[in-house]
Amino acid sequence: MQCIRCGRPIYDTAYGAANLCPECRAAFAGTVQPAPPQTPTRQAPYRPPVTSAILGLNVLVFAAMVFSGVSASEPRDMQLLKWGADFGPLTLGGQFWRTLASTYVHIGYAHLAVNMWSLWQIGRLTERIFGRWTYALVYTATGIAASLTSLFWNPMRISAGASGSLFGIVGALIAALWLGRLPFPRPAVQRMLKNLVVVVIVNLGFGAAVGFVDNPAHIGGLLAGLAIGAVLAQSLNEPPPQRLAQRRLVFVAVALCLGSLGAYVKQHSGWAVERYRQRQQSPKADDSTI
């Protein structure tokens, strides 16, 4: 005979409850405290600190712009330039900080809302896969690459917004999902890849159709993200020391590439600096000459 509670064999049936072993009878009698039942624990939701910080900084910059008198819906060109928008004659004239600052400046609340919603949807997963600091560096590097691509294509255009960096982290995420051996079910990975590719195609198609979207910046950010993500994907499952060493080398190489690209863009589009100076020296020069 076996105990109906624990399954132990029962050899002594002289007790009244012959279907329980002595240990279980003692537990029921209160002499032995049974182990408390295990209650399922809920995993705390992941809170992405870098994505949250980037989102907050973008909103903070926009709020400061509005409080300083900039229109929340249709800011003027000179106002955008004052806050760091990318513009060839100024950026290539020595203000290279604009290649990064412009990624935190937005042209109206609708522009900000769309970009921040996209950042929250995509950034959380990308940050979790690559890690905080690597994700922050990818976001920054691809944003600069997007600004430089815009300057190469049309240096006389005023460009601003986080969309170049957003395309960059989308590219890095696509590369990681495609090339990295991530602990996700393959069907889920394929669905995510399909959705991301559709998002890229739709957004680039929309940008080409409407004309006022800076598609060259989007393409530059995307290509930079794909390249960086493809290299980093190989080390996603390596031990932390090896992964850290490789990522340091990757970002040193990225910094050198961005420096070289910046020098090439300055040589290619440097004519914009002189043209802008000539326009500013014209007696009729005003905002319309930008």
**Which tens digits make up the pLDDT trace of 222-240?**
999 999 999 999 888 888 8
On the question of pLDDT at 206 being above 80, the answer is yes
Give the pair of three-digit tokens for residue 151: 């300057």
Count the Cβ atoms, other than its own, within 10 Å of residue 22: 14
Task: Pull the structure tokens for residue 210.
Answer: 């409407």
**Cβ proximity of 106 and 117 under 8 Å:** no
- Sign of the dihedral defined by the CA atoms of residues 8, 13, 15, 16, in that order: positive
Element (H, E) at 94: none
Domain borders along the chain are 49-267
Residues forming a β-bridge with 159: 86
* Of the candidates 128, 211, 127, 192, the residue with the CA atom closest to the CA atom of residue 165: 127
Residues linked to residue 86 through DSSP beta bridges, in sequence order: 159
Residues catalogued as catalytic: 163, 218
Amino acid sitting at position 190: Q
Q: How far apart are CA 118 and CA 218, in angstroms?
A: 14
- Is the pLDDT at 20 greater than 90? The verdict is no
Output the pTM of the full model.
0.81
pLDDT of residue 267: 96
pLDDT at residue number 50: 97
- Model confidence over 125-150: pLDDT tens digits? 999 999 999 999 999 999 999 999 99
- Asked if the 49-267 domain carries CATH number 1.20.1540.10, the reply is yes
